[in-house]
Amino acid sequence: MKIIIFGTSAMKHSYSFIAPLRIARACARHGDEVMIIDWADDRIKLDILKEGFEQHKWGVSYTLKLDDMIPELEKQIQEFKPDVIYSMGTGSIWNLYQTCKNYKIPLGLHIGDPYYAEYPNKDLLDIYQKMNFITANEGQAWNYCRTIRPAIANKCHLLLHAIDPELSPSLEEIIKTDKKYICAVVGGDDRIRRRELLLYYYQWTNSFPDHKFAIGGSIAKTKYDYNDLDPKVLDGKYWNHTEFTEEEAREFTDKQFNLEFIPNDLTYPLGLSHPAVHKLYSESYYSFTPYGRYIVDGRVSKYNTMTFGTKIFEQMGSGSAVIANDIADLDMIIKDGETGFILKTPEDAYKAFKLAVDDPEKVRQMGINAYNFAHQFHSWDNRYEEVLLPIFKQLGIK
């Protein structure tokens, strides 16, 4: 089968983007010929992005200006002769639809992170209905589409994020890796989440002063007034928010918390599945999946409407046991005491961290168990075989 993956600046980073490169690598591992026609985002520095043709292990890519993408697609339809076009987002989707209709080629659409996206307008719902298939990651807006437009529902397929076996460390590397941190976390764009997460970490870094915690991504660039952090006031009521430089961040975290600051440009902006992120998780006994309400004040909502987030598969797939709040269906993924811990009270969190101090080899084995679970059930090969392959077979192209 030949597939063209279209759009969304997938090639702006050489390692990963949420969907395009991971799907491309999974398709290639299953014998498909893959091409990406990509948008050269003007905001990207030229030293990061190479415009034009590039050869990769998984296939080829053409990185072009936005106005040149459809003409290049028409050219490649005639020369490459794809069996299916797979759009990573809704940019140029109407022109893309007309092109595929003219050449009688099936067109699929992937919606990357609808959990964070706005609800689609009527025009988008109309174009959804014209797709041959639609895939999406987690999201409330996604469920809305399926409910309000039943004609779309039979085209909808959940394609959750997963561990990329080409980017994650091997089991041998996991076994040999030294554990530097009790717990690590990456990400957290939202200010409320950043505030609660740092408050959460404040609580435990003071409980284990001789052991390092690690924090990376956008949350590592958030500063709060340390003097207002009264341990008796754990609801964040008096926190003040400012932004600060990397140098200030490093000095602040080193002095005020027993945290190691992971430079922002090595983690979150390069996508979840990046070697720097995998390395951070693999060097940690635990990783924390920061969704829902954190355990900072003894109040834990099991019925929080936020999902748990699929970055958990990358944490497990990096050889880190996972700790998380008791939200969503995490007990279907985390086996208490085997691959991590589901925390219901602050005391549960203390016991989990103390286990890494008292019996580090046991927690290391939990990380290995987590690694095996993620790679067996939640890799991109699983997603291809369970989601994409049946779609392609239904279309008669595989």
Residues 203-258 pLDDT 10s: 677 788 888 888 776 555 544 433 333 333 333 333 333 444 445 545 544 444 45
Q: Are residues 198 and 252 in the same domain?
A: yes
Residue carrying structure tokens 């006031």: 233
Residue whose structure tokens are 């309400």: 293
- Statement to judge: residues 207 and 152 lie in one domain: no
| Bridge partner residues of 272 (DSSP) | none
User: Do the beta carbons of residue 264 and residue 221 sit within 8 Å?
Assistant: yes
Contacts 24+ apart (CB under 8 A), 359-366: 360/179, 360/285, 363/285, 363/286, 363/321, 364/179, 364/285, 366/321, 366/337, 366/338, 366/339, 366/340
Assess whether 203 and 257 both reside in one domain: yes
**Same structural domain for residues 21 and 131?**
yes
CATH number at residue 20: 3.40.50.2000
- Give yes or no: residues 278 and 143 share one domain: no
Question: Do residues 135 and 44 lie in contact, with contact meaning Cβ atoms separated by under 8 Å?
Answer: no
167 within 8 A of 381, measured Cβ to Cβ: no
Clarify whether residues 386 and 354 are in a common domain.
no
For 275-291, what is each residue's pLDDT tens digit? 777 888 999 999 987 65
Query: Could you tell me which residue, 147 or 287, shows the higher pLDDT?
Result: 287
Q: For the chain, what's the residue count?
A: 398
Identity of residue 105: I
The answer on 71 and 153 residing in a single domain is yes
pLDDT of residue 336: 92
Residue 155 domain boundaries: 2-162+380-394
> Per residue in 351-386, pLDDT tens?
999 999 999 999 999 999 999 999 999 999 999 999
Core vs surface per residue 247-281: b (16+ CB within 10 A) or e: eebbebbeeebbbbbbebebbbebbbbbebbbbbb
pLDDT confidence of residue 360: 97
**What local confidence, expressed as pLDDT, does residue 59 receive?**
92
Q: Are residues 124 and 10 part of one domain?
A: yes
Specify the number of domains making up the chain.
2
Q: Are residues 189 and 321 in the same domain?
A: yes
Find the range with the poorest average confidence among 130-144, 211-225, 298-312, 339-353. 298-312
Q: Determine the Cα–Cα distance for residues 123 and 116; give it in Å rounded to an integer.
A: 19
Same domain? For 139 and 177 the reply is no
Judged on CB neighbours under 10 Å (0-12, 13-18, 19+), 93 is: buried
pTM score, whole prediction? 0.81
Q: Let me know how many helices (H) and strands (E) the chain has, helices first.
A: 15, 16
Q: Do residues 324 and 305 lie in contact, with contact meaning Cβ atoms separated by under 8 Å?
A: no
Residue 293 has pLDDT above 70, yes or no: no
- Using the 8-state DSSP alphabet, how is residue 186 labeled? E
Cα dihedral 19, 21, 22, 28 sign: positive
Task: Output 329 or 46, whichever has higher pLDDT.
Answer: 329
The DSSP output letter for 92 is T
Average pLDDT rounded to a whole number, residues 14-27: 72
Q: Are residues 311 and 201 in the same domain?
A: yes
Statement to judge: residues 83 and 44 lie in one domain: yes
pLDDT band at 316 (very low <50, low <70, confident <90, very high): very high
Q: Which residue has the higher pLDDT, 52 or 55?
A: 55
Please list, in sequence order, all residues whose beta carbon lies within 8 angstroms of the beta carbon of residue 332, skipping any fewer than 6 positions away.
none
Mean pLDDT value of segment 99-108: 96
**Contacts of residue 128, Cβ cutoff 8 Å, sequence gap at least 6:** 109, 120, 134, 145, 149, 152, 155
Q: Quick: pLDDT tens for 246-258.
A: 455 455 444 444 5
Of 120, 63, 127, which Cα lies nearest the Cα of 93?
127
Q: What percent of the chain has pLDDT over 90?
A: 35
